[in-house]
Amino acid sequence: MRPFEDVDVLDLTQSIAGPVATQFLGTMGANVVKVEPPEGDAFRGLLDGAMFASVNLSQKRSVCLDLKTEEGQQAAQDLAAEADVVIESFRPGVLEQFDLDYDAVAEDNEDVVYLSLTGFGQEGPYSDWPAYDPVIQAMSGLMSTIGYQDRPPVRIGASVIDWGTGTTAAFLVASALAERELTGEGDLIDVNLFEVAVAWMGYWIAHYTGTGEVAERQGQGFAGLAPNEVFHAAEDEPFYICVVNDDLYERLCTALDRPDLLEDDRYESNAKRWDNKDELIADLQAEFAEYERDDLCELLAEAGVPAGPVRTVDELVEDDPHVAAREILTDSHNVRRDTPVKTAAAPFRTSEGRPDLDDRPPEKGEHTRAVLEELGYDEAAISRMLAAADLDGDV
């Protein structure tokens, strides 16, 4: 499934959210040209190169341009004039000084699909604020629901808002391209991390506006539901169980061959189980400690009870049979360390199987010469721009 093989994408993004969007489009066949400043994408060095290695596959080509020079600006404008899609992640108004904002690009490229990906959107009190994923987790209310009530809020340990926003952006670009096929018209799309995160808080917002109750930090579980948290099997191996209704509780007790827990008046409804949560957790934990974790999770899964081991990253990569069977990981390359690594493959399959990703992201500016030659630049101009971008002439 490569519907975008004839689609040229100009990637003016850094960090994670924008590269996630262009990686998805590249996975669908798009020709992605990533423009980087002379110093490279700001996230090339983070986590010692691991972050960049995970979101810049799909055969992206890297061009290094200094937008502070006239020739660098002109080259970027020429790329924008030829692009079907432009995706940028600058703060609002910044690209106007380089004539790379939507109005400037659309003047010569009327049917361009132009997506601006920012922290807070193109206008509003926060529009000029800098933003990274953890800041958005905090400001959207998400962080206030994570952790324990007697401790400070904590962040989710992965860039979930970046990934969610990047995925949303790719979907919006795909939709705009489909619309362009029908109307012949491009579009200007404004998507931002803050609104995506607020959307994820939708049911807590609905709960507050309907009841006046403010969501508290949920700890291991979810307010009002029991059993719904981390337990420990034999040898203290952690696993999570998620029982959200009476039917699932009945399945749990049946699978454990514990009719006494099912018949106990204290546990006959979810409301009563929540009121008597401490006693229920103690009863269940004593039972779970008699099982090996994998055997227990398999038993519960066969009974239709949602449960699974709490994996560490090494367990996920080295030991998880589902990851291995479905080939959920793929090869990449940490260009900072110059070492092969594994990362997540495209998270879906089609009738033709899982899409292939290339096995390494581009070096900074690796394709500058080739792309400029395609634009018709002569050797003298290319050499000047390579020098301005502090690149070796052989790039």
Q: Which of 141, 91, 93, 140 is nearest to 117 (CA)?
A: 91
Sheet holding 113-118, edge to edge: 61-64, 31-36, 8-12, 85-88, 113-118, 187-192
Active site residues: 162
Pairing of strands 8-12, 85-88: parallel
- Residue-wise pLDDT tens for the chain (395 aa)? 789 999 999 999 999 999 999 999 999 999 999 999 999 999 999 999 999 999 999 899 999 999 999 999 999 999 999 999 999 999 999 999 999 999 999 999 999 999 999 999 999 999 999 999 999 999 999 999 999 989 999 999 999 999 999 999 999 999 999 999 999 999 999 999 999 999 999 999 999 999 999 998 988 888 889 999 999 999 999 999 999 999 999 999 999 999 999 999 999 999 999 999 999 999 999 999 999 999 999 999 999 999 999 999 999 999 999 999 999 999 999 999 999 999 999 888 888 888 888 778 999 999 999 999 999 999 999 999 999 998 876 67
- Give Dmax over CA atoms of the chain in angstroms: 85
- Structural domains in the chain, CATH included, are 8-200+327-388 (3.40.50.10540), 228-311 (3.30.1540.10)
Distance (Å, whole) CA 95 – CA 125? 20
